[in-house]
Each structure stands twice: as structure tokens, then as C-alpha cells.
Structure 1
Amino acid sequence: MSIGLIIALLLMLFALFLLWQGRREQQRAGLPLGRLLYTDLHPLQPTERVLFDPQTGLSGKPDYVVQQGNVLIPVEVKTREAPLQPYLGHIYQVLAYCLLIESHTGHRPPYGILRYRNRTFAVDYTPQAEQTLRDLLAEMQNATPRTLVRSHDDAARCARCGYRAHCDQRL
């Protein structure tokens, strides 16, 4: 066997090992199997452009987008431990990413992924969930400063709020 053939075989084995290791890391990170189209979390990767839905005025970027066949799955990563059930705000965030992907591509994701440090939840993007999200977005767009009631259960969160200087309900 020639040295060139041995090197080619070693390189092929190394490539297979890297592919296997990448799949293993993807599963360990709680990401669905598929082609990782982009991540918004990598500090050296250029920032992806923001997705925008002109009908609702909604804009945002999921942390990851994974392609499974012709389907794009948004993934939102939270650094905290998982609660018993996902927080409603986090569920709406994943649903918003599903809506944005559908608006951007014309293809409806069947679900999105919500990944906490120690647990992963699939959030179904059903027509009912989409309608609930759209109703919430419409309510938010129709809100006025007088109708908004802010939650002030967390004094530290209130202290860090970017609107604190203009808020008449600050703690």
C-alpha cells in the first residue's frame, strides 16, 4: 500500500470522526438532528440578519436554525435551569420565531425548540398557538402607556430595565 493511499484513508477516518463528534455535540446541546444553518450565539460568526414579518411588525433572530429536509426549526437557548414547565414568555418567543421563519421562507415549521441548560422542550406551532400569538401581538400593538401594567415582582429586573427613566411605575 502506498503512503498516499494510507494518508487518504487516515484523512477519511478523521473526517468521519469529526462528523460523528459534531452530531454527538449537536444532540448533547439539545438541538434536533439536521443541518445547522446558522447560530446567533457564536462570537466569531458574522451576525445573521434580523427576520421581519411586515404583517405583524415582528422582528427577531433565533439562536439557531436547524434544517431538517425542507423544514427549518428555530431553536432558542436559555442559560438557566429548566422550570417544571417552560415559561409562557419563552414559549411565545419560540412561537414568534416560528412565525418569522414562516413569513421569511413561506414554509411553516411544525415546532420550535426551547433549550434550557438541563432540558429541552418542543413547542408545537399549531394554528391555535399561532392565533394566540397573533392576538397577543395585536394587543401589544394596541396598548397605550395608560393601559400598560408592568410586572414589578422582581425589583432587580426593574432596576436593570432600559425604560426605567421613563417609567411612571418603576420601583
Structure 2
Amino acid sequence: MIKLYLSLVLVMIAIVLFILAARQRRQTGLPSGKVIYIDTSKWGKVEKPLYDPKLRLTGKPDYLVRQGEHIVPVEVKSRRAPASPHDSHIYQIAAYCLLVNHAYGVRPTHGIIHYSDKTFAIDFSGELEQAVKKMIVEMQERSSHTEVKRSHQDAKRCKHCGYRSVCDQALRI
């Protein structure tokens, strides 16, 4: 009889742990599948960036999840979701799709943008692929100019810019 009770307790503990793990996966925005790449400080070792020398593109998606033959890039945003994802977030996930295609030889069908309260699946269509490639070329052409003017008057955006320490146009905050 004790063995039966002990077995039932162990089964209940296993069920609780399974439910907690499933809840945590949902909160991270991860789809089902095997996580093969992680770039979040919470999880320890930081992965090597993905790189495509032809496109001169480097990036570190938050997660890559293998689903059978497919690999899905996942980008996690800490803020609440807008009505629809910002264009910059869509282009970011599309760039990760390009990098996955180069690094793993598998073209993603979609990527995922997970906000704190909502998740969007972004279809990696041929149209989006061409648009992000065009944007990459434009960005590279602009970066080759010796002087790039600040494109905004947003102090908050300026404060968190990665180039702030070397920018001669930084807004005073």
C-alpha cells in the first residue's frame, strides 16, 4: 500500500513539474521543439554570433528552435505588444532568418517575435526576404559615408544608443 501512495505522489510531482515547465516555455515565447541556440544572459554562456560574409551581416537571435527539419528564430521583447509588430522588429527577425539560412543551410519559413503579453509569427516570404536584403544594402551604403546625421529628436532613444559614447550629435539628457 505504501508503494502505491509513493507512486501516486511521484506521479503528482512529475505532473506539477511538467505543468511548470510548459508555463515557463510559454512565457519565453518559445515554440515546441529543441532549443539549439540561446543568447540570453539569464541562461549562462553566450553563443557565438551568426555571420554571413556575403551579406556582411552578423546577429544573435535570442533563441533558435529546431522543429523537425525547420529552424525558427525567436526574438524576445520585454515590452508590451503594439497592435502589430514594429517594422524594425520584423526586419530584425527577417535578418535572423537570413543568418539561419546561411549558418544551417535551412531556410526558415517564419520567425517569432515574443512581447511580454503577445506573440507574433512572422512569415519569411520571398517579398520580406528581398526587402530585408535591400535594407541591408542601403544601411551598408549609408554607413560607408564619413558623416551620418542623427535621424531623430528622441532623448530616450539617444540615451540607449550603442554609439552614444562616440557620437558628436548625442542629445543632452
TM-score by length of 2: 0.82
| Distance (Å, rounded) in 1 between the aligned partners of 2:41 and 2:6 | 32
Note the residue ranges of structure 1 that are not aligned, 5 or more in a row.
none
In the TM superposition, residue 90 of structure 1 has moved relative to its aligned partner by: 1.0
Identity within the alignment, %: 44
In the TM superposition, residue 162 of structure 1 has moved relative to its aligned partner by: 3.8
The 1:6/1:94 distance shift into structure 2, 3 A limit, reads same
Per the alignment, residue 101 of structure 2 pairs with 102
The 1:147/1:16 distance shift into structure 2, 3 A limit, reads same
Q: Deviations over 1:61-80 (max 9, x none)?
A: 11111111111111101111
The 1:150/1:106 distance shift into structure 2, 3 A limit, reads same
**1:122 is paired with a residue of what secondary structure?**
strand
The 1:28/1:64 distance shift into structure 2, 3 A limit, reads same
Q: Greater CA deviation, 63-72 or 152-161?
A: 152-161
Is it true that 1:80 corresponds to 2:110 in the alignment? no
In the TM superposition, residue 131 of structure 1 has moved relative to its aligned partner by: 0.6
Q: Does the CA contact (< 8 Å) of 1:102 and 1:108 recur in 2? A: yes
Per the alignment, residue 119 of structure 1 pairs with 118
| Distance (Å, rounded) in 1 between the aligned partners of 2:59 and 2:74 | 12
Q: In the comparison of the two structures, how many residue pairs are matched? A: 170
In the TM superposition, residue 12 of structure 1 has moved relative to its aligned partner by: 6.4
Q: Does the CA contact (< 8 Å) of 2:50 and 2:59 recur in 1? A: yes
Note the residue ranges of structure 2 that are not aligned, 5 or more in a row.
none
Is it true that 1:128 corresponds to 2:127 in the alignment? yes
Q: Deviations over 1:50-107 (max 9, x none)?
A: 1111111111111111111111111101111111121111111111111111110111
Q: Does the CA contact (< 8 Å) of 2:29 and 2:76 recur in 1? A: no
TM-score by length of 1: 0.83
